[in-house]
């Protein structure tokens, strides 16, 4: 071997980040995997969540790590200081916010995706075909045409923002991408309900249309948008010269799980020539349950749907998704010519349309793989049954609340979310929520309904059972009795150990 080649080779070896001892690496990797599996298999033995001790928070702070560390030491730090203090949404007692539980299958798929290190911005490779397969499945489920397009994104916040941008470009024409939204853009108005998620308003802000251009229409007692009021507001706006361009309906409001009358809104949008977007962050996947799907009637008429696989779909974070009926309008909102992104008829640069033509990201990870594994491994029927079961558990919690004189139901139970409270004031209920969270026995969250603080239980995790609902009720009653009994000092109870 000549000198130059030998030198080049040793230089290459010394910069490689691969393990020097593959068998030691393999042994440690197997231990990590075993412990990660144990963590999920034995999740009930741990508190749902626990406060982070100051010394743990401090332990992870350090200077920039210029020197190498042993992988085993870094892993030990993770196992001691990070893993035990996660959000808790893997635990069946987690009911705060709408968080999915994840699965061991999803974890493995994410590991495999990281090994491939695929970049799904574009080019011709099978990982993109996996993403396209999921797009095709979503088209099928929501009865969208073959020309519909879809793309994985971080979450529904991003998917809603992209829907606003697609609708904006459809309304103003593609030249607005060059000239800016201008005077025409200043006249655009969008519509959603008071119960819609805050990210809809943020999307209007980021899209340069302003939050004032979003009309928040009143809701009925069940938190469904008042369609007559929506129609009236559109008429008023047209009369004074505004250009109504978008309605964002909710399929599962974040507060109480209300589903707007999608059919009526679809008809109104068609009549008015307005883009009809559905925020189906968690609720859209109720399409997988034959019992629940009829509640989504009309979703198949939407121009676009945003949803999260990481909520009811149980796919590990993050896995948001946007489906757009007219794939060409979707592309026109984002596609951009660039020499370094030129497309070819053959070779690695073939295979257009690329995902980078359908959203703001160029480099993108392989979110589709954990979703593909999840949908195939469990089958959509079983995932639908998980979704129906969490609604049945919400009904069970509703019944427990109605049967308990110390508790009060604060909103109708539409899907999987129950809002209730201990019969006492806001301050006491706020303390109860924190007490229950800190006890590690359960993790509800809170929201405000009609000016009252509500304890909110969103049942999303496939591991949740009746006993977890019972544990939540027992904890709320215990802390409620203590708090309303005037006892300020509440001893921390033993952590959930069963």
Ligand X SMILES: *Cc1c(COP(=O)(O)O)cnc(C)c1O
Residues at the contact surface with ligand X, assessed by CB under 6 A: 98, 155-157, 197, 199, 250, 252, 254, 279, 281-282, 308, 320
Residue 98: burial class (beta carbons within 10 Å; 0-12, 13-18, 19+) = buried
8 A C-beta contact, residue 149 and residue 330: yes
- For residue 449, the 8-state DSSP code is E
| Structure tokens that stand for 456 in this block | 């909110």
Residue 363 CB, shortest distance to ligand X, in Å, is 20
The residue nearest ligand X at its CB is: 155
Residue 190 CB, shortest distance to ligand X, in Å, is 15
Q: Which is nearer to ligand X, 276 or 282 (CB)?
A: 282
- For residue 94, the 8-state DSSP code is B
Residues 269 and 191: their CA atoms lie apart, in Å, by: 11
Residue 220 CB, shortest distance to ligand X, in Å, is 18
Q: Which is nearer to ligand X, 130 or 199 (CB)?
A: 199
| Structure tokens that stand for 277 in this block | 């977007």
Residue 157 CB, shortest distance to ligand X, in Å, is 3
Residue 153 CB, shortest distance to ligand X, in Å, is 9
Number of other CB atoms surrounding residue 373 within 10 Å = 21
Measured in Å, how far apart are the chain's first and last C-alpha atoms? Answer: 65
Q: Which is nearer to ligand X, 172 or 259 (CB)?
A: 259
Q: Using DSSP, state whether 186 is helix, strand or coil.
A: helix
Q: Which is nearer to ligand X, 99 or 400 (CB)?
A: 99
The torsion defined by the Cα of 76, 81, 85 and 87, in degrees rounded to 10, comes to: -70
Residue 72 CB, shortest distance to ligand X, in Å, is 35
Contacts of 40 (CB under 8 A, 6+ apart): 90, 102, 104, 107
| Structure tokens that stand for 37 in this block | 């599996």
Contacts of 400 (CB under 8 A, 6+ apart): 407, 469, 470, 473
Would you call the peptide bond into 353 cis, given omega within 30 degrees of 0 as the criterion?
A: yes
Residues 459 and 99: their CA atoms lie apart, in Å, by: 9
8 A C-beta contact, residue 202 and residue 158: no
The residue assigned the tokens 């301050």 is 427
Q: Which is nearer to ligand X, 332 or 445 (CB)?
A: 445
Residue 163 CB, shortest distance to ligand X, in Å, is 11
Would you call the peptide bond into 318 cis, given omega within 30 degrees of 0 as the criterion?
A: yes
Q: Which is nearer to ligand X, 160 or 329 (CB)?
A: 160
| Structure tokens that stand for 364 in this block | 């993108």
Q: Which is nearer to ligand X, 123 or 311 (CB)?
A: 311
Quickly count helices (H) and strands (E) in the chain: 17, 11
Q: Which is nearer to ligand X, 311 or 483 (CB)?
A: 311
Residues 213 and 217: their CA atoms lie apart, in Å, by: 12
8 A C-beta contact, residue 315 and residue 106: yes
Q: Which is nearer to ligand X, 161 or 476 (CB)?
A: 161
Q: Which is nearer to ligand X, 92 or 252 (CB)?
A: 252
Q: Which is nearer to ligand X, 156 or 193 (CB)?
A: 156
Residue 90 CB, shortest distance to ligand X, in Å, is 17
* H/E run at residue 454: strand 452-458
Residue 372 CB, shortest distance to ligand X, in Å, is 19
Residue 458 CB, shortest distance to ligand X, in Å, is 9
Residue 382 CB, shortest distance to ligand X, in Å, is 22
8 A C-beta contact, residue 309 and residue 374: yes
């Amino acid at each position: 071997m000549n000198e130059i080649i030998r030198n080049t080779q040793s230089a290459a070896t010394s910069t490689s980040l691969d393990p020097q001892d593959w068998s030691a690496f393999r042994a440690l990797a197997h231990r990590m995997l075993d412990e990660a599996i144990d963590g999920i298999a034995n999740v009930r033995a741990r508190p749902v969540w626990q406060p982070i001790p100051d010394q743990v928070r401090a332990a992870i702070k350090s200077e920039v790590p210029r020197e190498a560390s042993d992988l085993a030491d870094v892993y030990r730090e993770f196992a001691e200081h990070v893993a035990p203090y996660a959000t808790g949404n893997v635990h069946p007692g987690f009911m705060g916010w709408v968080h999915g539980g994840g699965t061991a299958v999803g974890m493995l798929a994410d590991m495999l995706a990281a090994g491939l290190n695929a970049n799904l911005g574009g080019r011709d490779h099978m990982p993109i075909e996996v993403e396209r397969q999921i797009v095709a499945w979503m088209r099928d489920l929501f009865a969208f045409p073959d020309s519909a397009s879809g793309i994985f994104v971080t979450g529904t916040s991003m998917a809603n923002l992209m829907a606003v941008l697609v609708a904006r470009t459809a309304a103003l024409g593609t030249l607005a991408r060059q000239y800016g939204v201008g005077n025409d853009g200043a006249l655009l108005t969008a519509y959603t309900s008071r119960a819609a998620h805050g990210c809809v308003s943020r999307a209007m802000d980021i899209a340069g249309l302003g939050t004032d251009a979003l009309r928040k229409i009143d809701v009925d007692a069940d938190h469904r948008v008042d369609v007559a009021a929506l129609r009236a507001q559109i008429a008023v706006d047209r009369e004074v010269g505004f250009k109504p361009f978008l309605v964002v309906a909710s399929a599962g409001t974040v507060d109480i799980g209300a589903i707007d009358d999608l059919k009526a809104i679809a008809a109104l949008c068609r009549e008015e020539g307005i883009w009809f977007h559905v925020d189906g962050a968690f609720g859209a996947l109720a399409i997988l349950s034959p019992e629940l799907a009829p509640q989504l009637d009309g979703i198949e008429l939407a121009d676009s749907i945003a949803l999260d696989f990481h909520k009811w779909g149980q796919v590990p974070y993050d896995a948001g998704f946007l489906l757009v009926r007219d794939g060409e309008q979707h592309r026109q909102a984002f596609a951009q010519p660039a020499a370094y992104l030129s497309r070819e008829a053959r070779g690695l640069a073939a295979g257009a349309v690329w995902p980078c033509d359908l959203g703001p990201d160029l480099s993108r990870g392989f979110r589709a793989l954990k979703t593909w594994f999840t949908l195939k491994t469990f089958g959509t029927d079983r995932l639908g049954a998980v979704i129906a079961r969490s609604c049945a558990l919400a009904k069970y919690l509703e019944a427990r609340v109605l049967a308990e004189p110390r508790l009060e139901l604060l909103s109708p139970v539409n899907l999987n979310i129950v809002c209730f409270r201990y019969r006492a004031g806001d301050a006491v209920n706020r303390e109860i929520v924190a007490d229950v969270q800190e006890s590690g026995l359960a993790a509800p969250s809170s929201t405000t309904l009609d000016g009252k603080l509500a304890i909110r239980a969103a049942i999303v995790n496939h591991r949740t059972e009746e006993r977890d609902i019972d544990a939540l009720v027992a904890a709320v009653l215990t802390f409620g009795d203590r708090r309303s009994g005037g006892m300020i000092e509440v001893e921390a109870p033993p952590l959930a150990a069963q």
